[in-house]
Amino acid sequence: MAVTPTFPSRENLSRLRFRPLDIAVGLAVVLLIYAVVRVGAGAKASVHHATTLDTAPSNLPYYAARSLLRMFIALFFSYSFSLGYAYIAARSRRWRRVLIPALDILQSVPVLGFLAVTVTFFVALFPGSELGLECAAIFAVFTSQAWNITFSFYHSLISQPPEFNEASKLMGLSRWKRFWTVDVPGGAIGLVWNGMMSFGGSWFFLTASELITVPGTANSSHVYTLPGVGSYVGVAEAQGNLGHVGLGIATMIIMILVVNFFFWRPLVAYVEKFRVEQSEGSQKAKSLMLTALRRSSWPVALGRGRRALAQPVNRFMGTVTGVDDQQLAIHVTRRRAADIAFLVVVGVVLVYGLASMLAYINSGSDGLAIFGTAFADGFFTFLRVVVVVIASTIIWVPVGVWIGFNPRVAQFMQPVVQVAASFPANFIFPFAMVVFLDLGISLNWGSIALMMLGTQWYVLFNVIAGASAVPSDLKEAMDNLGVHGWDRWRRLIIPGIFPAYVTGAITAAGGAWNATIVAEYVTYKDHLYTARGLGAFIAEQSALPHGFPALFAGLLVMSVFVTGINALVWRRLYRLAETKFALA
């Protein structure tokens, strides 16, 4: 069994003395806490109406700190949500039938179309304070991060070897103990890489959520600008100040590289200890930050305090959650009766909700006849989503395998890929429109490229995570046996990355549906360009004073497409990954 460095390092376990490195680490932590408190205090300011922002370059450090604080708060809630949601879906066969299709729909719903509604809700919770706008912005970022992380952890849970259930039962582990000692470590590699992808993809939502429009009375509206890099670039674009736009983009790239060095790179190196393999690989991910932390005495000091606090918490949670006694034998009759009761309750709720929604849609100007237009537009969007997933697979699966199988390459390529994935796609739209107009390409075709700009990275990051988790001993065995070329792909690579690829493909498809609202409805130089599709349909209806009934019709049609694809394609691929390609 491979032995990887623990945290803290073993030589620090028996001693506790502070050195200059310990003082530097402690001072850095204190300064970080101070910066968070100072930056977070700005959220308590009185709310103000503003359509402009001070675009002086000297304000960029403060704007960068505000944006990063929002993103990390959203990341914390995303991980909390994902761990709980995925655990329930994986451990409960009945709830899985509801939660996974619901997750497909949630990740596909274009949240930007409802940003004004969520802002109104949060502003009402905190009247007269900027905290409501901050909560709305964080919620928008949360919706861009959570789904991908949830799918990753869910698949790691359902792909666990069945021996884990038997071992947990024999050892008498509580559900709480098993969750933190088996379930989370087993999915740690995917959680980190998908968290990195979600964090990068959320830059697009952050840009949109820092420039907020709230409906007012009659035909008026209120525009709010939250301090941040996204709003800085947006205001600079509106002013036509390309120099400030460039400074904003440069600041964003610096932020990505800094976060990668101080946060994501140490995490990628740390979760290597959770790789399942019989022999230690010759190449491992490294991090200067993690090495410095391991050499300091702070992890030892904090570890002792953590253990003292964790013991009573573990005892209490173990009592509350009970013993992990997953049944190894299935009582068919009892299960069937419980399934019927569960389906009846869920069916009644769904029928009531659907009837209420149809009645609301029927109150619109076009009544239920709007479904004809929505389904026709949805078919064109469906074709674009299929092309996006296939093209992303062909382009990025080989690249992801190359990066994931070579830690030295990953060390260099990780920040490059993260910058590319984090770059807000809407910043590229104007340049893409110039190319489309010069070449005479209709947006009906060009929207496919615009959708790919923001969704292709889900496939790449998941494939990298899957390839990184392939045990080194399997790769060494293939080398020793002389298995190369297509035979190596067929016997090792495809089976090894398949579960992670399925997660990436389904999140890419959901992201493509989500991106249609901006890819099929583009404004360039005060001219509106549209492609026929469900995204353009929803965007048009959201802009109309009385378009909400038709907008909900579009969302219902999108849900039909998403759940249909889930039943016909993704559910079968998940079952294949769970049964045939699980690493057992």
**Residue type at position 24:** A
Q: Report domain extents, the chain.
A: 59-275+296-326+363-579, 333-362
% of the chain at pLDDT higher than 90? 7
pLDDT digits (tens, 9 = 90+) for 118-155: 777 787 787 767 788 888 888 888 888 888 899 889 98
Among 126, 152, 153, which Cα is nearest to 137's?
Answer: 126
Instruction: At 178, list the tokens.
Output: 């098993």
pLDDT of residue 382: 93
Residue 114 and residue 107: Cα distance in Å, rounded?
Answer: 14
Residue linked to tokens 């953590």? 306
Residue linked to tokens 């990740």? 107
Is 203 within 8 Å of 423 (Cβ atoms)? yes
Average pLDDT over residues 222-241: 76
Residue 209 has pLDDT above 80, yes or no: no
* DSSP β-bridge partners for residue 221: 215
Choose from 74-78, 109-113, 525-529, 551-555 the range with maximum mean pLDDT. 74-78
pLDDT of residue 13: 47
For residue 35, what pLDDT band results from cuts at 50, 70 and 90? Answer: low
Buried b (16+ CB within 10 A) or exposed e, 186-214: bbbbbbbbbbbbbbbbbbbbbbbbbbbeb
DSSP 129: B
Report the mean per-residue pLDDT for the chain: 78
pLDDT of residue 85: 92
pLDDT digits (tens, 9 = 90+) for 156-173: 888 777 777 777 778 878
pLDDT digits (tens, 9 = 90+) for 535-560: 888 888 876 767 778 888 888 888 88
Range from 46-55, 107-116, 500-509, 520-529 carrying the lowest mean pLDDT = 46-55
Q: Report how many helices (DSSP H) and strands (DSSP E) the chain contains, helices first.
A: 25, 4
Q: How far is CA 168 from CA 164, 165, 173, in A?
A: 6, 5, 5
Residue 519 and residue 113: Cα distance in Å, rounded?
Answer: 13
pLDDT digits (tens, 9 = 90+) for 467-511: 887 877 788 888 888 888 888 888 888 888 888 888 888 888 888
Class level of CATH domain 59-275+296-326+363-579 = mainly alpha
Residue 383 has pLDDT above 60, yes or no: yes
- For 289, counting Cβ atoms within 10 Å of its Cβ (0-12 exposed, 13-18 middle, 19+ buried), the class is middle
pLDDT of residue 48: 47
Range from 4-13, 216-225, 252-261, 460-469 carrying the lowest mean pLDDT = 4-13
Choose from 141-145, 212-216, 294-298, 520-524 the range with maximum mean pLDDT. 141-145
Among 516, 535, 528, 522, which Cα is nearest to 431's?
Answer: 522
DSSP 262: I
Q: How far is CA 295 from CA 5, 15, 305, 436, 571, in A?
A: 11, 12, 18, 54, 46
pLDDT digits (tens, 9 = 90+) for 235-294: 777 676 778 878 888 888 888 888 888 888 888 888 888 876 655 555 666 778 788 777
Buried b (16+ CB within 10 A) or exposed e, 350-378: eeeeeeeeeeebeebeeeeebbebbbebb
Residue 276 and residue 506: Cα distance in Å, rounded?
Answer: 25
Instruction: At 293, list the tokens.
Output: 């932390």
pLDDT digits (tens, 9 = 90+) for 313-325: 777 777 777 776 6
Report the SS3 class of residue 283. coil
Residue 369 has pLDDT above 90, yes or no: no
Report the SS3 class of residue 529. strand
Residue 3 has pLDDT above 50, yes or no: no
**pTM assigned to the model:** 0.74
Helix 131-158 / helix 93-108 crossing angle, nearest 10 deg: 130
Q: For Cα atoms 128, 132, 134, give the angle at the middle one, nearest 5 degrees.
A: 125
pLDDT of residue 283: 60
